[in-house]
Structure 1
Amino acid sequence: MDNITALGGDVYEIDTRMAGYAGITAGYLILGDRPCLVETGTSTSAPVVRDALASLGVGPNDLATVVVTHIHLDHAGGVGDMAAYFPQAQIVVHEKGARHLADPSRLMKSARMVWGDQLDTLFGELSPTDAERIVALGDTGAIDLGNGRTLASHYSPGHAKHHVGLIDSGTGDLYVGDAAGVYLPQTGDLRPATPPPDFDLQTALDSIALFQALGPQRLLFSHYGPVGAVQETLERSAEELRIWVDLTKQAHEMGMDLDHAVAMVRDRTRERYTALKAEDETAEHFELLSGAPSNVAGILHWLDKVSP
C-alpha cells in the first residue's frame, strides 16, 4: 500500500490520509510480538488505518495495544472505531484523557464549537470505548511490546494536559505527539502547536527539556514523520515557542484583538518557514496543522491567565 513506509526496527509509518490529504497525520505500527498502534488518526481515517494494518499482517485479533499521545481528534478520533475493529486491543491514554475516550460527548461538543461544520469533514465523530478496555497512564508508565521491548510513556503537557511522549526501548524512537510542534518533511520547517485551552509556556519548554533528557535516537512526529537530527530539532522547537510567545505578547500588550494579533504574528514569522514562501498546497497543509489562529488563540488564552 502506498501509505505505508517501513522505518526500520519493525516500525511502520502509516499515512492516515486525514480528510483525504496525504502527509498530514501519521499513525505508527510497532510490529513486535505484541503489535502496538501509536496514534489512530481521525475517525474518518479509521478504515484506512485498519486496511494498512491488515496489509502488514495484523488481523482483527492480533493488535495488542492502541496508544495515543493525547486525545485531540487528529490523534485519537479513531480510537472508538479501532477498538471495535480490534476487540483484543487495550487502549492506552494518559489518565487526564481516559474519561473522554469512554464518554466523548463533552470533547465532541467543544470540538464542534471550534470547528463547526468542518468537524465532519476533518475529523468525524469519536465513538466511545468500553471503559474496561482503557488503561490510564500516570506520569510514567510502560507498554509491553513483547520480548522484553517496552514503550515507556512520559507525561509531557504544555500542548495539552493529557499529553504523553513515548520512547521505544528497542529503537530509541521517541513519539513526540504535538509537544515538539509540527514538522513538515517536504521543507524541514518546524512550527509550534499551541492551541487553547491548555497551552503554558514553561510547561511546554519543560516537556521539550524532558524529551532532550531521554536521549532519543530519532523523533517520530505525528505531523509528520521521522526526524534524525534530534537535539537540533528539539532546540528549534523551544526557540519557535519563545518567538511565537514573544510576538503574541507584543500584540497582547498593544491591546490587539485575535484577528489583528494573528495577522501580525503570521506576518512576522512568515520568513521562518520555507513552506509559506511557496504559496502552494504545502503552505495550506501547514496552516491546517498548526494554524496561526489556533496558535495565537492558545497563547492569548494563557497570557490572559498569567497577566490579565
Structure 2
Amino acid sequence: MRIETIDLNFLGTEHIIASYLLRGEGAAALVETGPTTCLEALEGGLRERGVAPEEVTQVFLTHVHLDHAGASGHLSEMLPRARFYVHRVGYPHLADPTKLLASATRIYGERMDELWGEVRPVPEERLEALPGEGEEIELDCGGALVAHDTPGHAYHHLAYHEPESGTLFAGDVAGIRMPGRSYVRPPTPPPEVDVEAWRESIQKIRRISPASLRPTHFGCYEDVERHLNELEQRLEDWLLFVEERMERGAERDEIVAALESKGDEELLAEGVDREEGVHYDLAGNYPMLVDGLMRYVRKRGRR
C-alpha cells in the first residue's frame, strides 16, 4: 500500500486542506473529504492518479467539521462502493447535518457557501460508527488503520494510525503546519475546544509513537516529538495569553489583535513571513482561534 497527498486547493490556495489517498491492489481509501467547494479538486486528484470511483471503498473522517467532512454526502453519490467511517458522536451529524449546519452558520454566517458549499447527508447504510479507542479497521487496499480517540480540538475527533508505515493521520489534533516550515499553530475554533483533553491526546500520540504525522492542514512530518512539543507549548501559552487578558477585562477584538501580533512575531521567528502566514490564517484564523479559547475559559470557569 502507498500513501499519496491530494491537495484540495482550498479557495484557490495550495497546502491548506489535504485528502490522503491510500492505494493498494485494485482498491483505494481516502482519509478526509474536504469541503464541497473542493470536490472538483478531489475528483481531479483521483482522476490524475488513475483511480476510478468504484475503486474507493473506504473513506475515513477524523471529525465532522466542514473543512474535513463537508463533501461526504456528495462523495457518497460519486463513490458507489465507499463506506464512510466516523466517530460515533459525529455519526448522526453526517446522517442528518441540520444541527451541524446551524452551528457552522452561527460561526461563518454569510460565508458558508463561499467556504464550504452545499452539504448533503450520507445515507445511514453507508456510514460506519467507530466507538473510539483502539478500533482496528481492515483496509480493502491492504493493511489496517487503528482509530484513536483524540479529543481536544473536537469531542468527536479520531486520529488514524497505519502501523506498517507508522503514519498517523492526525486531522487537527496535531495542529496546523505548512510544508517546509517548522511552525505549528493550534487550531482552537469554537465550540468544542478542550485544552485539558487536548493535552491528554498529545500524550496519547506520544505513546502511539508514530514515525510521521500527517495533519489535514498540511503535509507529512517526521520530527514528531519536536512538533508535538511545540504544539503543546503554544497551546498552553496562547490559552494563558487569552485568559490573562480576559481577567483584565479586555474585549474580544482587543484580544484578537493582541494574539495576531504575538502570533505573527512567532511566525517570523521561525522563518515564516506574513505572506506565507496567510496559509496558516486560511487553515485557522486569529478571530476564530480566540473565540474558541475564550469559550473554553468561560466553560472552565463555570465548572
TM over 0.5: yes
Match of 1:197 in 2: 191
Residues 1:172 and 2:166 aligned together = yes
In 1, Cα distance between equivalents of 2:96 and 2:251: 35
**AA partner of residue 116 (structure 1):** G
Query: Larger RCO: Structure 1 or Structure 2 (Cα < 8 Å, ≥ 6 residues apart)?
Result: 2
- Residue of structure 1 aligned with 2:113, choices 107, 120, 124: 120
Specify the alignment match of 2:64 in structure 1. 71
> Deviating runs (4+, > 4 A) in structure 1?
none
1:160 paired to 2:164: no
Which of the numbers 3, 6, 10 marks the counterpart of 1:18? 10
1:219 aligns with 2:213: yes
CA distance in 2, matches of 1:153, 1:127: 25
**What is the distance in 2 between the residues matched to 1:270 and 1:58?**
40
Identity %: 33
Distance 1:91 1:146 in 2: 13
Provide the residue aligned with 2:144 in structure 1.
150
Structure 1 pair 296/227, CA: closer, same or farther in 2 (3 Å)? same
- Which residues in structure 2 correspond to 1:8-157 (within 5 Å)? 10-33=2-25, 34-140=27-133, 141-146=135-140, 149-157=143-151
Contact 1:161 1:198 in 2 (8 A): yes
CA contact under 8 A between 1:276 and 1:283: conserved in structure 2?
no
| Partner of residue 285, structure 2 | 291
3-state SS in 1 of match to 2:155: coil
Contact kept in structure 1, 2:177 and 2:184, CA below 8 Å: yes
1:230 aligns with 2:224: yes
Aligned to 1:247: 241
**Partner Cα separation in structure 1 for residue 259 and residue 253 of structure 2:** 10
The size of the alignment, in residue pairs, is 299
How large is the RMSD of aligned CA atoms in angstroms?
A: 1.6
In 2: Cα distance, 1:125 partner to 1:186 partner: 33
TM-score (norm 1): 0.93
- Secondary structure, counterpart of 2:239 in structure 1: helix
Amino acid at match of 1:233: H
For residue 277 of structure 1, report the CA deviation from its aligned partner.
Answer: 6.0
Report the 3-state secondary structure (helix = DSSP H, G, I; strand = E; otherwise coil) of the residue aligned with 1:213: helix
Q: 1:18, 1:270 → 2: CA distance?
A: 22
Which is further off, 256-265 or 129-138? 256-265
TM-score normalized with structure 2 length: 0.94
Deviations 1:56-77 (A, max 9, x none): 2321211110111111111101
- After superposition, the C-alpha distances for 1:18-65 in whole angstroms (9 at most, x for unaligned) are 122111100000102441100011111112212211232321211110
Question: 1:108–1:125: 8 Å Cα contact kept in structure 2?
Answer: no
Contact 1:271 1:277 in 2 (8 A): no
Q: What letter is aligned with 2:297?
A: L
Aligned to 1:3: none
Letter in 1 for 2:11: A
Shift of 1:147: 7.1
- Give SS of 2:277's match: helix
CA distance in 1, matches of 2:292, 2:80: 37
For 1:110, give the aligned amino acid: S
- 2:270 aligned with 1:278, yes or no? no
Q: 1:301 is matched with which residue? A: 295
